[in-house]
C-alpha cells in the first residue's frame, strides 16, 4: 500500500510539474504527447541512470509514443500561447517541449538533447531542492534553438546517445566547459546543461540557500519594555508604550534616553476581538493616533475629564456602597485616590503587599527607584541617603476594605466597572468611566500647578516615562502634602471628610542621591581647581583648566554629558548673556533651549577665551596645529572646549568627549559626570522655582510643554530669575571664575 501510494504520488508530481493544471486540456495533451515522443527512446538508453522513474511512468511514455506525432503548427500555436500569457517561466517544461527549432540544422541530435535534459530535470525534481538547476537547464536548451547568441553552443555538443551513461555525458560537458578561459554566454550555457546532467546521474542532494541577513551590531544591547497607558475612552482597547532600554547603559543613558526617537511606538490590542487582521490593526492604530493628535489642540481644561459634579456624585455613591460591603466600590475609590487602575494596583499588591494597614491605618505602599539611587560604598556619608518606597495614607472609609483585602482575589474587569458605573451615570447624568476616574488626580494636580515630577511620583511611574524623575532628589513631605491636598479637595466636593491622619515631619528623601551638601559642593570645586595652582607645563595646565571650565558651565546650564559639550562660541551671546544649547535630539525635532548664563559663568567664559588667546600666541611657532585649533575655537569655526592628547610623541587637540573627561578627572570626580544636572534640578526644586521653568531649563519638557512655546506664559525674564538663583549658589559655596594660563 505504501509503495503504491509512493508511485502514484511520484507520477502526480511529475505530470503536474510538466503540464500544470493552469493550462487548458488541449495544451496539456500536446505537451504530454511531445514528452512521450522525445523521451521514450532515451528512457530505454539511460535506464540504469534514471532510476527514479517507475515502471508505470515508463509504460505511459511508451504508450504515448505509439500515437501519431503532433505537427509543427500545433506546437507553434501552443508555444505562442505560453509566451503571450507569460507562462514561459511558470511552465518551463512545456515551454521547452513546444518551442520551435528555427536555428537547428540537425533535428535528430537536438531532439535527443531536449529529451535528455527534460528527463534529467524530471529526476532532479523527484530528488528535490534543484529548482535553480532545473529552470536554468530548461531555459538554456530552449534558447539554443531560438536565440542566435546561444546557437553556437549546439555545434559543440556531442551526440547524447554516443555515451553509454549520463555520467559519461556529464564529464564530456564539463571538459567542454573548461576549455573556455574567460566566462561568457557559451561557457555559462554549457555549465547549466552540465550541472543538470551530472546531478541527475549521481543523484546529488540539492542545495538549500538561505538569505543572508545582516544584523547590525549594537554596542549596547537593548530590551523592549512595555509600559501600559491609561485608557482614553470606553472602547476597551489596551494600549502599551514600547520603550527600548539599553541592557548596560552608562551613567547618563540610564537616567534618560539619549538617542533619537522618531516617535512613540504604541501597541494597541483589542481583547474583545479574537482574530485581528493587519488592516483592522492598522485602522485601530490610525484612530488612536488621531485621538492623541486631538489632545494637543487648544481644548478646554475639562475636555474628556471629570467635573466637580461627577466627583461629587461618584464619591457619595461609592461611600454608600462601601457601607454595604461592596468590594468593587473600594476598587473605584482606590483608583480615584491613587490615580492608578485596579489591575495595576492589584499587581503591585500581589508582588509587594502594598495594600495593608500601617499602624492600624489603611495605606498603599509605592516603590520608587532611579539609577542614581545606588552609589558606590565609598560614598557613604558623603551623599545623602534615599528611601526606596513611600506610603500614601488612604481615607478612613477604606479601613474595612483594606483589612479584608486578599491578593488572591482578582481585580474587577473593565466590563464590570462599566456596568457598576452605568447606574450612577444614568441617575445623575454624569460622564464617569474608569479611565477618567484614574486620570482625575493628574488633571486636578496640573490645574493646581503641582510639579509634573511630583505627580509622576505620586502615581509611582517609572523614571523612563519622565526623565526628570531620574534627576530629582525630593523630600517625602512635599509628596505627602500634595497627596493630602488632593484627597481633602475631592472629599470636600462631596461634603465628606477623609479622616486622614495628622501629617508628621520626616527627614526622608526619594530619588537621586546626587544632591551634594554645601561643604561637599565647595570642596569639589576646590579639588578641581587645585592643579591650576601648581607650576607645570602648559599642556597639563590647559587640560585641567578646560575640565574646570566644563564643570562650571555644565553646572550653570545643566548641560548633558555629551561629545563636544556647549558647542561653539557663536552659540553664546555675550551682550545678553544667553546661550543656545542643543544637547539632545527629541522626538519630531531638537530639544534646543536658550538659557541665561549667571554672571560667574559668564566671567568664566571670558577668562577661558583670554586663555585661548594667550595659548595661541605662545604656540604660533612651537605648535602651529594647536595655534590653529585655538583660532577655530575663538572664531566659532570649531568647538569651544578641547584638550590636548598624546599621539606619537606629539600633542594633538581633541574635542572634549565623555571618555576623555573620565580619563582626566579620574578620582577627583568619584560619581557620575552628569551630577550637575541632578544637583541643579534638585536645588531649583528645593528653592520653589516654577516647575515648568525648571523643565525648560533642563531640557525635560515634552511636546506641548515647551516653557517658551506658543501657549506658554513664561518669558526670558523668568530665565533670568533662574540665573540669579544659580548665581546665589555660586556665591554661597564660594565657587569663583578662575583665570587661565598667561604669558606673564
Digit-coded pLDDT (tens) for 300-341: 444 568 888 999 999 999 999 999 999 999 999 999 999 999
Q: What is the pLDDT of residues 338-357, one digit of tens each?
A: 999 999 899 888 887 888 88
Cell 515522443 locates to 37
Q: What is the pLDDT of residues 684-731, one digit of tens each?
A: 999 888 888 888 888 877 766 677 766 677 778 888 889 999 999 999
Rounded mean pLDDT, 101-106? 79
Asked whether residue 445 carries a pLDDT value surpassing 80, the answer given is yes
Rounded mean pLDDT, 4-31? 75
pLDDT of res. 396: 92
363 neighbors 403 (Cβ within 8 angstroms) = no
pLDDT band per the 50, 70, 90 thresholds, residue 69: low
pLDDT of res. 183: 82
Q: Which long-range contacts (CB under 8 A, 24 or more apart) does 124-128 make?
A: 124/196, 124/199, 124/200, 124/206, 125/13, 125/14, 125/17, 126/10, 126/13, 126/14, 126/52, 127/52, 127/199, 127/200, 127/203, 127/204, 127/205, 127/206, 128/206
pLDDT of res. 1: 37
pLDDT band per the 50, 70, 90 thresholds, residue 250: low
Work out whether strand 642-646 and strand 585-586 pair parallel, antiparallel, or are unpaired: unpaired
Q: What is the pLDDT of residues 584-636, one digit of tens each?
A: 765 444 567 888 999 999 999 999 999 999 988 888 888 888 889 999 999 98
Which among 196, 88, 205, 203 has a CA at the least distance from the CA of 133? 196
680 CB-near residues (< 8 Å, 6+ apart): 555, 558, 698, 726
Q: What is the pLDDT of residues 145-185, one digit of tens each?
A: 888 888 888 888 888 888 888 888 888 888 888 888 778 88
pLDDT band per the 50, 70, 90 thresholds, residue 5: very low
pLDDT of res. 74: 82
103 or 552: which leads in pLDDT:
552
Cell triple for 661: 573627561
Q: What is the pTM of this model?
A: 0.63
Least confident of 194-198, 218-222, 243-247, 434-438: 218-222
Asked whether residue 650 carries a pLDDT value surpassing 90, the answer given is no
Q: How far apart are CA 423 and CA 413, in angstroms?
A: 17
For residue 298, with 0-12 CB atoms within 10 Å meaning exposed, 13-18 middle and 19 or more buried, which class applies? exposed
pLDDT of res. 222: 67
pLDDT band per the 50, 70, 90 thresholds, residue 108: confident
642 neighbors 629 (Cβ within 8 angstroms) = yes
Amino acid at each position: 500500500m505504501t509503495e503504491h501510494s509512493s508511485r502514484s504520488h511520484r507520477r502526480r508530481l511529475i505530470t503536474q510539474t510538466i503540464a500544470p493544471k493552469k493550462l487548458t486540456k488541449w495544451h496539456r495533451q500536446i505537451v504530454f504527447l511531445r514528452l512521450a515522443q522525445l523521451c521514450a527512446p532515451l528512457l530505454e538508453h539511460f535506464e540504469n541512470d534514471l532510476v527514479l522513474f517507475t515502471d508505470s511512468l515508463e509504460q505511459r511514455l511508451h504508450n504515448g509514443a505509439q500515437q501519431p506525432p503532433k505537427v509543427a503548427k500545433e506546437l507553434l500555436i501552443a508555444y505562442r500561447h505560453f509566451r503571450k500569457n507569460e507562462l514561459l517561466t511558470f511552465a518551463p517544461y512545456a515551454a521547452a517541449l513546444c518551442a520551435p527549432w528555427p536555428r537547428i540544422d540537425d533535428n535528430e541530435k537536438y531532439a535527443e538533447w531536449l529529451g535528455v535534459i527534460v528527463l534529467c530535470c524530471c529526476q532532479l525534481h523527484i530528488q528535490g531542492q534543484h529548482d535553480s538547476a532545473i529552470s536554468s537547464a530548461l531555459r538554456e536548451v530552449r534558447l539554443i534553438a531560438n536565440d542566435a547568441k546561444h546557437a553556437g553552443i549546439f555545434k559543440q555538443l556531442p551526440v547524447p546517445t554516443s555515451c553509454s551513461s549520463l555520467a559519461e555525458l556529464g564529464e564530456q560537458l564539463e571538459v567542454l566547459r573548461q576549455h573556455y578561459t574567460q566566462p561568457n554566454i557559451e561557457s555559462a550555457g554549457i555549465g547549466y546543461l552540465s550541472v543538470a546532467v551530472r546531478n541527475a546521474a549521481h543523484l546529488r542532494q540539492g542545495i538549500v540557500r538561505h538569505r543572508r541577513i545582516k544584523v547590525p551590531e549594537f554596542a549596547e544591547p537593548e530590551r523592549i519594555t512595555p509600559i501600559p497607558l491609561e485608557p482614553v475612552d470606553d472602547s476597551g482597547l489596551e494600549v502599551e508604550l514600547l520603550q527600548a532600554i539599553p541592557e548596560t547603559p552608562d551613567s547618563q543613558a540610564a537616567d534618560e534616553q539619549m538617542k533619537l526617537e522618531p516617535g512613540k511606538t504604541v501597541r494597541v490590542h483589542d481583547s474583545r476581538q479574537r482574530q485581528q487582521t493587519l488592516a483592522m490593526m492598522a485602522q485601530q492604530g490610525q484612530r488612536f493616533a488621531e485621538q492623541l493628535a486631538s489632545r494637543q489642540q487648544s481644548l478646554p481644561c475639562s475636555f474628556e475629564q471629570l467635573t466637580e459634579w461627577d466627583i461629587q456624585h461618584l464619591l457619595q455613591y461609592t461611600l454608600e456602597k462601601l457601607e454595604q460591603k461592596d468590594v468593587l466600590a473600594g476598587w473605584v475609590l482606590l483608583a480615584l485616590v491613587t490615580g492608578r487602575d485596579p489591575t495595576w494596583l492589584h499587581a503591585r499588591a500581589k508582588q509587594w503587599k502594598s495594600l495593608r494597614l500601617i499602624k492600624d491605618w489603611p495605606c498603599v505602599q509605592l516603590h520608587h527607584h532611579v539609577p542614581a539611587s545606588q552609589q558606590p560604598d565609598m560614598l557613604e556619608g558623603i551623599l545623602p541617603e534615599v528611601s526606596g518606597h513611600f506610603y500614601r495614607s488612604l481615607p478612613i472609609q477604606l479601613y474595612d476594605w483594606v483589612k479584608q483585602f486578599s491578593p488572591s482575589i482578582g481585580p474587577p474587569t473593565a466590563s464590570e466597572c462599566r456596568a457598576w458605573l452605568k447606574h450612577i451615570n444614568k441617575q445623575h447624568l454624569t460622564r464617569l468611566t474608569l479611565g477618567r476616574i484614574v486620570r482625575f488626580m493628574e488633571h486636578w494636580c496640573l490645574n493646581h500647578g503641582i510639579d509634573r515630577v511630583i505627580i509622576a511620583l505620586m502615581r509611582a511611574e517609572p523614571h523612563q516615562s519622565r526623565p526628570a524623575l531620574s534627576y530629582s532628589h525630593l523630600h517625602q513631605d512635599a509628596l505627602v502634602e500634595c497627596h493630602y491636598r488632593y484627597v481633602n479637595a475631592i472629599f470636600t466636593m462631596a461634603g465628606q471628610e477623609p479622616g486622614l491622619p495628622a501629617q508628621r515631619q520626616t527627614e526622608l528623601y526619594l530619588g537621586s542621591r546626587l544632591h551634594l551638601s554645601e561643604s561637599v559642593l565647595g570642596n569639589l570645586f576646590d579639588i578641581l581647581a587645585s592643579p591650576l595652582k601648581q607650576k607645570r607645563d602648559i599642556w597639563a595646565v590647559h587640560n585641567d583648566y578646560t575640565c574646570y571650565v566644563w564643570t562650571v558651565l555644565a553646572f550653570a546650564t545643566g548641560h548633558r554629558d555629551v561629545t563636544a559639550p556647549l558647542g561653539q562660541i557663536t552659540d553664546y551671546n555675550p551682550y545678553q548673556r544667553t546661550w543656545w544649547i542643543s544637547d539632545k535630539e527629541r522626538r519630531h525635532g531638537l530639544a534646543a533651549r536658550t538659557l541665561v548664563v549667571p554672571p560667574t559663568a559668564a566671567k568664566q567664559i571670558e577668562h577661558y577665551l583670554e586663555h585661548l588667546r594667550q595659548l595661541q600666541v605662545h604656540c604660533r611657532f612651537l605648535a602651529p596645529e594647536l595655534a590653529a585649533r585655538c583660532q577655530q575655537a575663538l572664531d566659532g569655526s570649531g568647538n569651544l572646549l578641547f584638550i590636548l592628547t598624546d599621539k606619537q610623541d606629539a600633542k594633538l587637540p581633541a574635542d572634549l568627549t565623555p571618555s576623555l573627561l573620565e580619563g582626566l578627572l579620574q578620582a577627583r570626580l568619584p560619581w557620575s559626570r552628569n551630577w550637575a544636572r541632578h544637583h541643579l534640578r534638585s536645588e531649583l526644586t528645593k528653592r520653589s522655582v516654577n516647575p515648568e521653568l525648571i523643565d525648560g531649563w533642563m531640557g525635560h519638557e515634552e511636546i506641548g510643554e515647551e516653557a517658551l512655546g506658543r501657549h506658554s506664559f513664561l518669558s526670558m525674564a523668568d530665565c533670568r530669575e533662574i540665573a540669579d538663583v544659580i548665581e546665589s549658589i555660586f556665591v554661597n559655596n564660594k565657587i569663583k571664575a578662575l583665570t587661565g594660563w598667561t604669558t606673564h
